[in-house]
Structure 1
């Protein structure tokens, strides 16, 4: 390896192990995965509560999210940990059924509002930006019993829900994600049955679900732009699932640099 090759290799290594000054360091969770408190203080059941309690053997280790990380009770400790590792932002999801137990906005749970207000306020007090997912896979059971995401009516239920969370938290939350990984919601929930609600309706359920989610996202986005954007000055988007591909033949950077400069 000649001098130029060695220099380029070292520059690459240093660059690969450092972050630019404006790099934002963040962490992400989902409500069902961490909150616990599955039936605490007025929270309604969601499809994961129903699924893990009704079909426990479909979970490889027979666990569920009844307690999980107990973030519902320990969120202050979570924020302290985030501050200790110098997080710039924290992406978390709202449990629809914790705020609206049956999924409908005419039945609000004050404790759910209290919980997310306290979490958001504590994050901001520690200079951590909240990034909020409105829906991350935990549909209220009442809406599932109406047919779930393949039912186009759920688009309007979702927009009503989004409208409420924008109004409740949008004065402090400036980055919103409508859906986390819509393809996973539809393919794994309504096509191959790998995730709750566990339906196997390939070519039907997944396409009906996809249509509902896209319409729901578009309506919620337009609602924010029209009703909240000017005042709250936030952003609304969607988290899209993708796949990382690697070449079949491994070619290292060292070999490439050596080829060109040896």
Structure 2
């Protein structure tokens, strides 16, 4: 049996090698290979955010009644995580800051020094291992006190977000050259305030999801201008937004089908079905 198994594998390998054309194309030298996490997926111990509140108030909404109170505990195991990244051979790591860890009540009235130090330690560990940090400023985890004050559907949130990101640029900007203002903002608004399938689980489609989108876009623009006006000259970094999107092709080459595909891309940006997603960093 062992010889037969080896023979079958050898035949398959020979067939593959005989049929496949070797692709000699290379990635450009500035292409970043990496991996990513979100703060709620890897951290514990912070001010309450909307996912903390949701999973504590409605544990039955999560498979296995799980939550992110400890998650994979990167807060304490970040050195091990960076060692794993180095072993993987990646040259960048995208992670998100927890707004609630830095500002427990969401405002600059109270800064959590221990949370700030954690991120500084993580950044140092990454840079010491030649891994480029890419930092997401918001990955779906609004501080709960700000949600109770209105959340992303209330225009006051734009100024609160700007206060937070300005502080982040001040604290970490010397070590960060790539910033993402929002991760998948469409999901924040459509799932969080339209369909209600994600925190804060508000079901008000056609109204709140549009109000949310309006304020998220204003917050993104404001954050970009804060960086451009106050930090770019000394920190020399880049600010972007992470957009998730399905890709749509016209069924035929007709003008109507081409217009339909383009309209889908422009209006939806990303679908909510089970099609494969692609995430872009601009």
- Which TM-score band (shorter chain)? 0.7 to 0.9
Partner of 2:13: none
> What are the within-5 Å matches in structure 2 for residues 125-204 of structure 1?
125-204=128-207
Instruction: Tell me, in whole angstroms, the C-alpha distance in 2 between the residues paired with 1:139 and 1:191.
Output: 16
Question: Of residues 19, 28, 37 in structure 1, which corresponds to 2:36?
Answer: 28
Kindly provide the CA deviation profile for residues 165-193 of structure 1, in whole angstroms up to 9, marking residues without a partner as x: 00000001000000001100000000001
When normalised by structure 1's length, the TM-score is 0.85
Instruction: Tell me, in whole angstroms, the C-alpha distance in 1 between the residues paired with 2:26 and 2:156.
Output: 45
Instruction: Tell me, in whole angstroms, the C-alpha distance in 2 between the residues paired with 1:176 and 1:52.
Output: 28
How far is the alpha carbon of 1:245 from its aligned partner? 4.7
Instruction: Tell me, in whole angstroms, the C-alpha distance in 2 between the residues paired with 1:33 and 1:246.
Output: 34
Within the alignment, does 1:206 sit opposite 2:209 as a pair?
A: yes
Partner of 2:20: 10
Partner of 2:266: none
Partner of 1:223: 226
Kindly provide the CA deviation profile for residues 16-36 of structure 1, in whole angstroms up to 9, marking residues without a partner as x: 9x753624210011000112x
SS at match of 2:202: coil
Question: Of residues 210, 234, 237 in structure 2, which corresponds to 1:234?
Answer: 237
1:246–1:15: structure 2 CA closer, same or farther, 3 Å change rule?
farther
Task: Show structure 1 runs of 5+ residues with no match.
Answer: 1-5, 249-262
Instruction: Tell me, in whole angstroms, the C-alpha distance in 1 between the residues paired with 2:242 and 2:27.
Output: 24
Within the alignment, does 1:118 sit opposite 2:121 as a pair?
A: yes
Partner of 2:276: none
Kindly provide the CA deviation profile for residues 85-117 of structure 1, in whole angstroms up to 9, marking residues without a partner as x: 111000000000000000001210000001000
Instruction: Tell me, in whole angstroms, the C-alpha distance in 2 between the residues paired with 1:55 and 1:19.
Output: 48
The structure, 1 or 2, with the larger RCO (C-alpha pairs under 8 Å, 6+ apart) is 1
Partner of 1:86: 89
Moved over 2 A (4+): 18-24, 244-248
SS at match of 1:240: strand
Partner of 1:256: none
Aligned length: 235
Instruction: Tell me, in whole angstroms, the C-alpha distance in 2 between the residues paired with 1:136 and 1:59.
Output: 19
Instruction: Tell me, in whole angstroms, the C-alpha distance in 1 between the residues paired with 2:206 and 2:58.
Output: 24
How far is the alpha carbon of 1:141 from its aligned partner? 0.7
